[in-house]
Structure 1
Amino acid sequence: MDRCGASHRSDERSCDGSVENLKMLIVGGTGEMGQWFSTFFKERGFDVTIWGKSGKTEVAERLGIRFAHNLQAEVAESDVVIISVPIDITEQVIAEVAPLMKKGSLLMDLTSLKTGPTRAMQKYAPDGVEILGTHPMFGPTIPSLHGQRFILTPINERCQKWFPVIRGMLEENGAHIVIVEPEEHDRFVSVVQGLTHFAYITIGTTLTKLDFNVKESRRFMSPVYDIMLDFVGRILGQNPYLYAMIQMENPEVIKVHEVFLKECHHTSEMVRKHDIQGFITKMRDAAIHFGDTSPALRRSDKLINFKISEYDHLLVSVGEERGLLHVYTGKIHIGKVWKVTPAEVLLAEGTKTVSLKIENIQLLSAQELKEWKINNLAHHRRDISVIVPENSNPEIILEVLSGNENIVKSEIIDTYILEEKKSVTYRISILADKEPDNVQNDVEKVLCGIGCRLRT
C-alpha cells in the first residue's frame, strides 16, 4: 500500500472515475485560479458551484455555473470542496468550512504552501471526510494542463477513495503529477518560488532605483538579457499580493534569503577587490554543485533559437500572407505581413491594418493556416460531370482529385449509365481564397488526361 493506499476498493461511486453530476464547490471560485478550475472541472462532468467573498455573481453567470448564496448549505451538500483563497487566510477558511462537510466528500486546497493547509485539513475535517493538498505549478493564463506540473500531498489514510479519481483526471488531461510530503514541498518551493521570485522582483526594483530605461535597453539586448527581462516583467505583472504571500508565509523562505543575500555580498566584495581567481573559483564550484550544465545549455539554446527563428520567419514574410495566433485571446489573424519590428508586427487584415506585439503572437505553420481556412471559411462548390473510361473505378478517380491541395473536399454525388457509358458527377469544394475557375480548369484537365470525357 502506498502513502495514500494504492490498494483501493473500487465499489464506491467515485472510484470508477465517474464524476458526472457530482457536486463541487470552489471557495474562492471568483478569483482567477478559481475560475480556471471551475471551467476545468465543469467540462469534465462536475456540477460546479462557486463562492467568493466579493459576491461577484456575474463571474458565475459568465462561466455558466451557479453562485453559492448560502455557503454553509452548499458546503454540506457538496461531494468536493476546493479552497482557492489567498495563502494567509487559507487555514482560517479551512477551519470554517471543513467541519460542515459530509461523510465521503473530499476537501482540497490549491495553495502554494502545503504544511499549514494540510495540518488544518487534518485538524478540522471530520472523520470520513477525505483531504488532499495540491499545488498547481502554473498560473491561470495557461490554455490546458498539458505538460504542466501538478503537486499532490496526500495524507496517509485520508484519501483512499478520491485520490485515484483526482490524480487520474489530471493525468488524463496531460498533467505531470509529483507526489511529496507537505514539509518536503515547502522546503523545495522556498527555492523554486521563494528564491527565483525574490531575485526577479529585486532585479525589477533595482532597475527602478537606477532609473534605468528598460525599453531603451532592448536596443542593446542579447538573447539572454531579452529572455531575462521577459521573466522579470512576467513576475512584476502578476498579482503582487500573491507574491508577497509566497515570500512571507513560508518560514523556509527567510533562510533562503539570508544565504542569497550573504552570497550577493560576498560576490560583490570579490568584484570590488578585483579578486579574479576567487570569482572564478566560486563560479566553478557552483557549476560542480549544479551538475551537468550541458542540458541547461541545450535547453536555453533551444529557447533562444526559437525566439530568433520565429522573428526571422516573420521578417522574410513581409508582403506575404501569414496566420498569427494571439496566444492570450486565442484569436487568429490572417493577412499580409506589412511590417516587422523587434516589438510588433503590422498585418494587413482585410481592409484594416492590425498591430500585434511580437511577444503575444505565435506564427502558424503553412499546414495550420490551411487547416484554419478549411474549418472557418465558406468554400466554393463546383460539380463536374464526366463519362469515365470503360472498366475504370470512379472511386480511384475520386482519390486522384482529392490530391489537389486547393480542394477541401471531393465526393461522388451521382452515378448512372448514359448510352451504355458510365456517367459520374464529382462535387468539389475549392478552398475559399483560391480562384475557383482556375482550380476547376485544373481538375478538368486531370480528368481528361486520364481518359474521362466532360459532359456539358
Structure 2
Amino acid sequence: MDRRRATNRSYEESGTGGLLSLKVLIIGGTGEMGQWFTSFFRNHCYEVVVWGSSGKVEIAERMGVDFASDLDAAISTSDIVIITVPINITEKVISETAPKMKSGSLLMDFTSLKLGPTEAMKKYAPEGVEILGTHPMFGPSIPSLHGQIFILTPIEGRCNKWFPVMRSLFEDNGAHLEVISPAEHDRFVSVVQGLTHFAYITIGTTFDRLDFSVNESRRFMSPVYDIMLDFVGRILGQNPYLYAYIQMENPEVIKVHDAFMQQCSEISSIVRKKDVEAFTAKMKEAAVHFGDTASALRRSDKLINSKIAEFDELIDSIGQEIGVRHIYSGVVHTGIVKKVSPRDVVLECSSRMIPLKIENIRLLDEEELHEWKLENLKHHLRDISVLIPENSDAEIIIELVSCNDDIVSIEIIDRYDGIEGTERLSVTFRVMIMGDVEVEKVQQVVERQLIGIGCAIR
C-alpha cells in the first residue's frame, strides 16, 4: 500500500481531518534532529513550521519551510507540536508550550528521557490535548527510518486518537516500534545509552590521561580495536552537552555508574593479584548472564568481515577504475586505484593523485558508479544514418544496440523513405555516448552492430 494513502487513511479513521491540512510545529526544528524530522514530515505532505531559540531563519528557508516568527500563534494553530530541545530545558519548554495548544492537537517530545517530560506533559497539557513521549534511537545522519528503533511511551487515556496515527506513520516507513512505560524507558536507556556512552567517553579520556597516540596505535590495531576506536571517536566527535545531559539528567544512570566502577575495581584488583581463576570465573559468570555469546560472535564477525571485504576489494582494484563517495561531504571521486594501504587509498584522476582515508569513504558498486556517471558526466552525441532492412522495426533495433554500457541513450531523430533506388527506410539514430570513454571506438562498435543486423550505413 502507498505510504501516503495509508497515512491518510489513518487520519480519516482517527478523525483528524485531511492529510494536507495537518500542520506540524517543531520547536527546536533548526537543530540537527529537528531538521531531519522537518524533512521527514514534509515528505509525508505535512505543513511544517519550525522554531529555534537561535532564530536561524536561514535554516528554515533552506529547508523550504516557514520559521515561526510568532511562536504563540504557531503553537495555538498547530495540529502537532514536537519538542526536540536539549534534555535540561525540555520540561521548561513543555510547561511554556502545552497550555497554549488547541483542543484535539498532539504534543510530542523527542528527548532521551521520558519520565520527566511525560510527567510535565501530563501536568501542563489541557485535557483536550493528547500527549505522546517518543525517543528516536538514532541520530540525524541516517538516511531513512528503515530498520531504526523508535520508542513510544503513551500515557493511558491521553493518546487514543493520535497514537495509531503516529504508530502507522513510523511503521509504514520501516521503523521498528517499542511501546513501553516512561519509567521502563529510563531504566533501559540508563544502560543502553548511559553505560555505553560512559564507557566510551572514559576510554577516550583515558587515552588523554595517558597521552596515548591513537593515530600511532592504528599501526598495530586488531579488527576489534579498530572498530572500538571508531565507536569511541564517534561519541567524542558529537555534541558534548547532549552526552552530558544524558549522563546527568537520568537518575538511574548513577546506579549504573556505581555498579560499573565497582566491577572495574574488582577486576583490577584480581589482575593485580594475578588471580587467574578469579578472573576466568568472572568472565564465565558474565558470559552465562549475557546469554547467546555465539550469536554475538557471529554478528561481530560480520561487522569485522565487512571492513575486511571492502579493503580486499580495494586491493583487487589496483590498476582499475573505481568510484568512492566521501561519507561526510557526499562528494564522489572516480579514478584509477594506484595504491592501497590499511588506512589510505590513492586514486589517479586526470593525471592528478587523490589520497583518501579509507574510513572516510564508501566504495560504490558498479551500478552506483554507472548511475553517477550518467548524471554527472558531460556526454557525447553522434548521429548515425542507416538504411534499415525491409519490414524491420527501428525501435527494436534501438533495443538491440542499447545493450552497450558505454551508451547513455539512443533516439530516432529522422525517418525518410524517399531515397532513390531503394525502398528501404532511412533512419538517423542520435547516440549519446558516455562522457569518459573513447567516442570514436564506441561509434565504430555501434556501426558494426547495425551492419551486423542488416543495416547499410549512409
Give the direction of change, closer, same or farther, for the CA distance of 1:391–1:28 in structure 2 (3 Å limit).
closer
Deviations 1:168-205 (CA, angstroms, capped at 9, x unpaired): 22223332222222111111111110111111111111
User: Which residue pairs with 1:396 in the alignment?
Assistant: 396
CA contact (8 A) 1:79 1:106 kept: yes
**Is residue 450 from structure 1 mapped to residue 453 from structure 2 by the alignment?**
yes
**Is residue 58 from structure 1 mapped to residue 61 from structure 2 by the alignment?**
no
- Aligned CA RMSD, in angstroms, stands at 2.1
CA contact (8 A) 2:11 2:19 kept: no
**Is residue 39 from structure 1 mapped to residue 39 from structure 2 by the alignment?**
yes
Deviations 1:281-308 (CA, angstroms, capped at 9, x unpaired): 2212221221222221121111111112
Deviations 1:351-380 (CA, angstroms, capped at 9, x unpaired): 654443222210111221111111222322
**In 1: Cα distance, 2:233 partner to 2:11 partner:** 48
Give the direction of change, closer, same or farther, for the CA distance of 1:19–1:353 in structure 2 (3 Å limit).
farther
Shift of 1:230: 0.8
CA contact (8 A) 1:14 1:165 kept: no
CA contact (8 A) 2:194 2:246 kept: yes
Letter in 1 for 2:84: S
CA contact (8 A) 1:19 1:45 kept: yes
**In 2: Cα distance, 1:452 partner to 1:73 partner:** 71
Normalised to the residue count of structure 2, the TM-score between the two structures is 0.91
User: Which residue pairs with 1:202 in the alignment?
Assistant: 202
Letter in 2 for 1:439: V
**In 1: Cα distance, 2:393 partner to 2:12 partner:** 55
Normalised to the residue count of structure 1, the TM-score between the two structures is 0.92
User: Which residue pairs with 1:117 in the alignment?
Assistant: 117
**In 2: Cα distance, 1:47 partner to 1:114 partner:** 27
**In 2: Cα distance, 1:243 partner to 1:263 partner:** 23
313-322 or 436-445, larger mean C-alpha shift? 313-322
Give the direction of change, closer, same or farther, for the CA distance of 1:327–1:13 in structure 2 (3 Å limit).
farther
**In 1: Cα distance, 2:148 partner to 2:349 partner:** 34
User: Which residue pairs with 2:428 in the alignment?
Assistant: 425
Give the direction of change, closer, same or farther, for the CA distance of 1:104–1:438 in structure 2 (3 Å limit).
same
User: Which residue pairs with 1:282 in the alignment?
Assistant: 282
User: Which residue pairs with 2:229 in the alignment?
Assistant: 229
Deviations 1:322-364 (CA, angstroms, capped at 9, x unpaired): 2111122222122233443333333334465444322221011
User: Which residue pairs with 1:380 in the alignment?
Assistant: 380
User: Which residue pairs with 1:4 in the alignment?
Assistant: none
CA contact (8 A) 2:131 2:159 kept: yes
**In 2: Cα distance, 1:13 partner to 1:439 partner:** 61
Deviations 1:402-423 (CA, angstroms, capped at 9, x unpaired): 2112112223444443432233
User: Which residue pairs with 1:437 in the alignment?
Assistant: 440
Letter in 2 for 1:58: E
**In 2: Cα distance, 1:441 partner to 1:312 partner:** 36
Letter in 1 for 2:330: G
319-328 or 350-359, larger mean C-alpha shift? 350-359
Deviations 1:310-330 (CA, angstroms, capped at 9, x unpaired): 123223434432211112222
Number of matched pairs: 446
CA contact (8 A) 1:9 1:161 kept: no
Give the direction of change, closer, same or farther, for the CA distance of 1:162–1:215 in structure 2 (3 Å limit).
same
User: Which residue pairs with 1:5 in the alignment?
Assistant: none
Letter in 1 for 2:181: E
In structure 2, runs of 5+ residues without a counterpart are 1-9
Identity of aligned residues (%): 63
Shift of 1:144: 2.4
Deviations 1:101-141 (CA, angstroms, capped at 9, x unpaired): 00111100000011111111111111111111111111122
Letter in 2 for 1:249: E
User: Which residue pairs with 1:72 in the alignment?
Assistant: 72
SS at 1:193 equivalent: helix
SS at 1:324 equivalent: strand
**In 1: Cα distance, 2:350 partner to 2:75 partner:** 52
Letter in 1 for 2:16: S
CA contact (8 A) 2:218 2:226 kept: yes
SS at 2:111 equivalent: coil
